[in-house]
Amino acid sequence: MPHYAVDRMEGKIAVLVADDGTAIDVPRPMLPAGARDGSVLLVPVGSDGSPNWTAAELDEAERERRLKRARETLDRLRKRDPGGDVAV
């Protein structure tokens, strides 16, 4: 099943980003209770190949894994930063 990350909420619409980077707008009422900015959803695919939003579930373990990976990347980049102004 594919994962989608909740990028942001805009009124009655949630903007989700698929693992391939594709953004999609989904009506907020179709998302599982508790979905918010930064949530990761595990979304089954319907028989027609489209996401079945009504059966989507929050995937807290995947959200934590992604946050950890992002923190590790930031830490690695900070260690390489020499500091100071950029010289051109």
| DSSP calls for 18-63 | ETTS-EEEEEGGGSPTT--TT-EEE-PBPTTSSB-GGG-EE-HHHH
Cβ-Cβ contacts under 8 Å for 16 (sequence gap 6 or more)? 4, 5, 6, 7, 23, 24, 25, 26, 41
- The one-digit pLDDT tens for each residue of the chain (88 residues) are 899 999 999 999 999 999 999 999 999 999 999 999 999 999 999 899 899 998 999 999 999 999 999 999 999 998 888 788 877 7
Q: The pTM is what?
A: 0.81
